[in-house]
Amino acid sequence: MGTGHAHRAARRRDGFEVARGPRIVLLVALALAGLASVAGVLTLWPSSGAVHDVVDAVPFAAPGVTFPDAVVDRVQSACPRAENGGTAGGDDCGHVVATVGDGAGRGDEITVQVAPQVIDSGLAPGDEIKVQRTPGADGADAAYAYFGTVRSSALLVMALLFALLVVVVARWRGVFALVGLAFSGLVVWEFMLPALLTGESGLLVGLCGSAAIMFVVLYLTHGLSMRTSTALAGTLVGALVTVGVGLVAVQATRLTGITDESAGILSTYVDGLDFQGLLACATIVAGLGVLNDVTITQSSSVWEIRAAAPTMSRAGVFASGMRIGRDHIASTIYTIVFAYAGSALAVLLILQLYGLPLEVLLTTEEIGEEIVRTLASAIGLVLAVPLTTGIAALVVPGSAPLSE
């Protein structure tokens, strides 16, 4: 009874029924992958006590230090640059006068020094800033320092505008996509990051977390259907290829995974953190979105080709799907490269400023890591196209005409 209902549902959605054999093979394979993902998440899930021990061992600020909001009353002009390239200080430049709005120092009028770029960003009276308040010793007045600009209102407006546009344009599918995005953030924040901080394998955390995300996001956004299942299978295989290539490349290039101050802090305070595994995890997560886009497109293309040409052979369906896939590969490769180039633009500018030869630049950890991550994601993406197309061509019905 249940199987017949599933067949009728598949026919209403895709216009034809999927043969029982390919359906069972695909769904069993996905069920095993799903069970492995759930088992992995449960096994790797860190205890709250272990996470708290790591976090409590690295206090962000000294005891008693708070970070209240303050409303800007007056902004001085930025201090002129000194001859040595620094900034010439003074009491009449480079400061912001503000009133503390909450906390122990509420109502205090304070003057804090800020960097020239903060003033040049357009900071004006009425804006809110976050300041660091350090209590004075032996009854002395508290000291204040600029910590950051409060941007929550502007960011909230942008987020609401994004959500509204997604819902208006994509309708219910957009709503489900937003729910899937929220679930993805929850998995990263509540599982992957704590598991990494407590020393779990970056490779396993990345694979299990990413698989869990893809299962929920794909079925939630695109619905329960065989074409979605095909895209999911292609996504999982593509992720495995990406991580495999990434691991080999990291070992071959002797990358350490430590490229900036953040990694240095982690290596100091977090015991047992495998930075090469962390790099592998980052490679998987970074490529998920583009990989998902490619696989769902290829699966849908094969389904539409079969619906439009029911008498075409499976080889013909595969060839037609690959013609679409080649165009998609060409455009998506640019997406990956430009995304990484944009995220590393400041590093690239510094290296350009130094004027080093290309062979010297390739020895730097920053450039090497970006190249490995980009190429690993690109290789996984390229191979996911024929893999997904092949799976879809095997799953859709053969060349028999559709029944009336």
Contact criterion met (CB below 8 Å) for 68 and 128: no
Measure the CA–CA gap between 294 and 325, rounded to whole angstroms: 8
Contact criterion met (CB below 8 Å) for 326 and 381: no
My answer on whether 333 and 389 are in the same domain is: yes
Could you give phi then psi for residue 97, rounded to 5 degrees? -100, 130
Could you give phi then psi for residue 128, rounded to 5 degrees? -105, 140
My answer on whether 174 and 258 are in the same domain is: yes
Q: Which two tokens stand for residue 396?
A: 């859709």
My answer on whether 294 and 388 are in the same domain is: yes
Give the global pTM: 0.78
- Helix, strand, coil share of the chain (percent; to 5): 65, 10, 25
My answer on whether 86 and 215 are in the same domain is: no
Contact criterion met (CB below 8 Å) for 50 and 196: no
* 3-state secondary structure string across 200-230: CCHHHHHHHHHHHHHHHHHHHHHCCCHHHHH
- Burial code (b: 16+ CB inside 10 Å, e: under 16) for 294-328 equals bbbbbbbbbbbbbeeebebebeebbebbbebbeeb
My answer on whether 184 and 271 are in the same domain is: yes
Domain of 365? 2-46+156-395
Supply angle C-alpha 272, 274, 275, rounded to 5. Answer: 135
Q: Which two tokens stand for residue 134?
A: 């350090």
User: CB neighbours (10 Å) of residue 21?
Assistant: 10
Residue 400 inside a domain? The answer is: no
278-337 pLDDT, tens digit per residue, is: 888 888 888 887 888 889 989 989 988 888 888 888 888 899 999 988 888 888 887 777
My answer on whether 310 and 388 are in the same domain is: yes
- Burial code (b: 16+ CB inside 10 Å, e: under 16) for 207-228 equals bbbbbbbbbbbbbbbbeebbbb
Q: Which helix (H) or strand (E) holds 132?
A: strand 128-134
Last residue of some domain: 149, 183, 199? 149
Residue 51 inside a domain? The answer is: no
My answer on whether 133 and 165 are in the same domain is: no
Q: Which two tokens stand for residue 74?
A: 């007056």
Measure the CA–CA gap between 306 and 19, rounded to whole angstroms: 14
My answer on whether 209 and 340 are in the same domain is: yes
241-274 pLDDT, tens digit per residue, is: 888 888 888 888 877 767 666 767 777 777 767 7
One-letter amino acid at 58 equals V
My answer on whether 258 and 304 are in the same domain is: yes
My answer on whether 387 and 249 are in the same domain is: yes
Closest CA to 125 of 160, 97, 84, 87: 97
My answer on whether 322 and 223 are in the same domain is: yes
My answer on whether 134 and 271 are in the same domain is: no
Residue 380 inside a domain? The answer is: yes
Last residue of some domain: 105, 126, 149? 149
Measure the CA–CA gap between 23 and 29, rounded to whole angstroms: 10
Q: State how many domains the chain has.
A: 2
Last residue of some domain: 118, 149, 180? 149
Residue 404 inside a domain? The answer is: no
Measure the CA–CA gap between 193 and 265, rounded to whole angstroms: 15
Residue 115 inside a domain? The answer is: yes
Residue 55 inside a domain? The answer is: no
pLDDT by position in tens, the chain (length 404): 344 444 444 444 455 677 788 888 999 999 999 999 999 999 999 887 777 777 776 777 777 888 999 999 998 888 776 555 455 556 678 889 999 988 888 888 988 988 888 888 888 899 899 999 988 877 778 889 999 999 988 999 999 999 999 999 988 888 998 999 999 999 999 999 888 888 888 889 989 999 999 999 999 988 888 889 999 999 999 989 888 888 888 888 877 767 666 767 777 777 767 787 888 888 888 888 788 888 998 998 998 888 888 888 888 889 999 998 888 888 888 777 777 777 777 777 777 777 767 777 777 777 777 788 888 888 888 899 999 999 998 888 776 554 44
Residue 391 inside a domain? The answer is: yes
Residue 177 inside a domain? The answer is: yes
Enumerate the β-bridge partners of residue 112: 96
Question: How, if at all, do strands 95-100 and 69-75 pair?
Answer: antiparallel
